[in-house]
A and B are shown apart, each in its own frame.
Chain A
Amino acid sequence: MPRNDYISTIVKPGHRFVWGLLLLLSFLFIQGLLPRLALVILFALLARTAGKRIKFSYFIILSSSIALFNLLTPWGEVLYSLGGFDITRGALIAGLTKGITISGLVFVSLFSVSRDLQLPGRFGRLLGRSFYYFESLYSHKRKIHRRSFFSDIDGILLDLFPSDHEHDSGTRFLKTTPLGVMVILLSFGITGAIALWM
């Protein structure tokens, strides 16, 4: 788990996933640019609490470019004219709403999906084994240097695979604490308040 993933210490991975899905449904149900923007800010805070690094510049550029592409098809009242190019209210609001919605979907995913989320069945076990190997590789990260990248990697790979050892995918015991339940309820309370404001 990321070093500063505070959510994982209070909410079980499965509960966290369901929490995210329910917030996602509320998010898509709520219409309007400002309420959605408010929820996106909430989701960004939750993603930061989950220890995820967010490049805000990336999301600002993404939302702006979606809005820009939308403006190429004029729609509604003309707000401003730049040369021959009309900035229309309908196209601007629709573009910004779309950009903000896409950013919100990513933020929900960032905080609700954790590496400890166990996928079911044979594929889930295969993924667990893959994460076991990933942890082993990651523990050798400091041995890799840019100048000797390939020989460093080759040495590590020769050490780790194929291995004669049986391994354990290392599932941790995780549970949702009373504080976790309170945080989940609080997030739904804020979402409800935003829905009422709408």
Chain B
Amino acid sequence: MDLHSDLHKRRIDLVAFLGALCLFLSTVEYLFPKPIPFMRLGLANLPILVSLKLLPFPYLMLLTLVKVAGQGLINGTLASYVFIFSVAGSYSSVLVMYAVSRTGGRFLSLVGVSLAGSMTSNAVQVLLSIYFIFGKNAVMIAPLFLGIGTVSGLLIGLIAEGFVEHSRWHANLRRLYAQE
């Protein structure tokens, strides 16, 4: 990262704003009905998904850190196992979404990218829960978790596609921050 350029400062400010948007969307998630009981839609992932082509990789990593640390501080889970699950799930998901969006190019929509990220995040969290909480018998609940991850990933992907297509704010950001 070039620490002193004007573009760097503007990107850092965008990371702070997108991080705030992640926190905000997680508070308004209750407005949406849950298709499956206990399922979280994961609206907080939307800003990361729609900024995959706006921000370079190091800034995406920073945005993910702002999201997980901010949620940990606001929800008070920073010093608990929930935070470890959140860090592992978020980072694995962002790494896979970034790789998939770069290799898939224009042949892959945000729905596909979101599905890949969501399933990765859920798979990593199931592995962690087997290791830390439930023990090896928890393999039995893995299909359920991965199924829920597929549904939420699909919904978030569709929402992200709609948002990128219709949002004037996102179009403005693309104009200001699009990578060369």
Contact = CB atoms under 8 A, between A and B. Distances in A.
Interface in A90-125: 98, 102, 105-106, 108-115, 117, 119, 123
B147 interface: no
A70 B135 contact: yes
Nearest to B77: A109
B144 interface: no
A102 B74 contact: no
Contacts of A6: none
B65 interface: yes
Contacts of B163: 150
Given A126-B62, A130-B70, A149 B31 contact: yes
Interface residues of A, number: 50
A17 B10 CA distance: 33
Nearest to A126: B16
A150 B159 CA distance: 9
Contacts of B75: 110
Contacts of A65: 134
A127 to B, nearest CB: 6
Contacts of A137: 20-21, 24
B70 A127 contact: yes
Contacts of A24: 79
Interface stretch (A33-41, A81-89, A154-162, A179-187): A154-162
Contacts of B168: 154, 158
Contacts of A160: 17
A98 B131 CA distance: 13
Contacts of B31: 144, 146, 149
Instruction: Provide the main secondary structure of the chain B interface.
Output: helix
A123 B137 contact: no
Interface string B138-173: 100000000000000000000000110011110010
B57 interface: no
B88 interface: no
A141 B27 contact: yes
A4 to B, nearest CB: 13
B79 A138 contact: no
A141 B31 CA distance: 11
Interface string A40-83: 00000001001010000000000001100110110000000000
A133 interface: yes
A108 B78 CA distance: 10
A66 B134 CA distance: 5
Contacts of A123: 65, 69
B19 interface: yes
A102 B81 contact: yes
A35 B24 CA distance: 39
A109 B80 contact: yes
Contact of B69 (A72, A106, A109, A127): A127
Contact of B133 (A66, A134, A161): A66
7 contacts: A17-B79, A47-B76, A109-B82, A127-B70, A130-B15, A130-B17, A162-B14
Interface of B: 10, 12-17, 19-21, 23-24, 27-28, 31-32, 62, 65-66, 69-70, 72-83, 133-135, 137-138, 162-163, 166-169, 172, 176
